[in-house]
Structure 1
Amino acid sequence: MTTPTAWQSADHALAYLSRADAIPHRTEGEAVLLSQVPLTVRRILDLGTGDGRLLALLKIDRPEANGIALDFSETMLTAARERFAPNPRVEVMAHNLEDPLPDLGPFEAIVSSFAIHHLADDRKQALYGEIYDRLAPGGIFCNLEHVASPTERLHRRFMQAIGFDPNHEDPSNQLVDVETQLQWLRNLGFIDVDCYWKWLEMALLIGVKP
């Protein structure tokens, strides 16, 4: 059984959407992610899509690609469905990442943006394995993620930089450092694994399936 989190609250989801565009340096990380996903991909899976922001950015230069956007927040799903309503190549589906990924066929790209860090560490690792299994050979996994700082001082610096009180953090955050997650990906068989971009606790982790 999955445990309800604050993300099932409309107020919490709407508060996040209202400040998402203002997160410092977020667009820099997104730009690097966009540069790494081939323009020739035919199918894209977006995990924890929110309002569909990342998938919509990917679709700008890949209009013929088919996309599937997964989220479990009804507020986020409503926003994503509104965004993609005119686009028959995008399907928005309800799915909680606490549960195993459904079998939706192979994808050339699987992406996620600030979602996976809400999962427990064992579920993160299991999800990475499911992502590997669902990628086509040569497919790319890009995770623009909130990661752990090496020190409490740097963590507080990050929180202050994005305008948050360090004493009032999202209780659903379960942060893991970059190198640990890169090693998880390597152990699964991903190649070209690296942190392709980072600013404090925001990092872009990428791996390619051979």
Structure 2
Amino acid sequence: MENVEEFYDQLSSSYSDLIRKCVPRYDELLNNMFLYLNADFKPLRILDLGCGTGNLTQKIIEHFPDTQIDALDLSEDILEECKKRFANKSNINYIQADFKTMHLPAAEYDLVMSSIAIHHVEDPFKLELYKNVYQSLKKGGIFIFADQTRGITDDIYFKNIDCWKEGAFKLGSTEENWKMWMEHQDAHDHHSPIGWHLDNLKNAGFEEVDLLSKYLMWAICWAKKH
């Protein structure tokens, strides 16, 4: 079985197209990540955790065109796609790193964002990641992430997956696409309930945490460092 890096290496050139056929309301999800940022919030440095081919990075540029961006991902090939996409941008720094082993610089970022990436690590590593992000933020810094979550019961969880499948096929996914995502999910994905995320963001040190929105499995969480 391929690992996560190999999986995304193989999808690097087609990822942006496939994700829009896979995730219902995908662009709405990305847009909603910015809804609760105050108009006077002007971050000087932003980290995009698990940047992929740059879909969230693109939204960051649209909202904060002059900020310095660190785009981090595990896959070298997918980072190359991101580099090609933003070849005319000089304010993006690319970092190849693993969520499980990386050490973010202290008090470096005003804003850390992540889109559909954190579920790729097991719960103990998520907690360490949250601690890592917390110490990497300046005072007043904000962590916003969108991710797949698990229902509080198996009935809720599997109903969400059934609805996800129905929505994905309406978007143009094929049986082959769905089988690929489910095989990857069974092997590499680690979904956690919303309550788990919020509790452990607090355990990591964040004083202000909230669920901003949720549709089926996809939730947006907010955490602020005072």
TM-score w.r.t. length of structure 1 = 0.89
Q: Once the two structures are superposed, what CA deviation does each residue of 1:169-206 show, in whole Å capped at 9, x if it has no partner?
A: 52210111010110001122213311101011100011
Letter in 1 for 2:152: P
Letter in 2 for 1:200: L
Q: Taking structure 1 as reference, are residues 209 and 4 closer, same or farther at Cα in structure 2, changes over 3 Å only?
A: farther
Q: CA RMSD in A?
A: 2.2
The yes-or-no answer on 1:200 pairing with 2:202 is: no
Quote how far apart the aligned CAs of 1:61 are: 2.3
Letter in 1 for 2:27: T
Quote how far apart the aligned CAs of 1:12 are: 4.0
Partner of 1:17: 16
Partner of 2:94: 92
Identity %: 24
Alignment of 1:1-210 (within 5 A): 5-9=3-7, 10-14=9-13, 16-22=15-21, 23-38=23-38, 39-103=41-105, 106-159=108-161, 160=165, 161-163=167-169, 164=178, 168-170=183-185, 171-210=187-226
Q: Secondary structure at the match of 1:162?
A: helix
Q: Secondary structure at the match of 1:109?
A: strand
Point out where structure 2 has 5 or more consecutive residues left out of the alignment: 170-177
Q: Is contact 1:71-1:96 (8 Å) kept?
A: yes
Whole-Å separation in 1 of the counterparts to 2:14 and 2:63? 29
Whole-Å separation in 2 of the counterparts to 1:110 and 1:4? 29
Quote how far apart the aligned CAs of 1:168 are: 3.8
Q: Taking structure 1 as reference, are residues 68 and 104 closer, same or farther at Cα in structure 2, changes over 3 Å only?
A: farther
Whole-Å separation in 2 of the counterparts to 1:208 and 1:191? 6
Q: Is contact 2:111-2:141 (8 Å) kept?
A: yes
The structure with more helix, counted as a fraction of residues: 2
Quote how far apart the aligned CAs of 1:59 are: 1.1
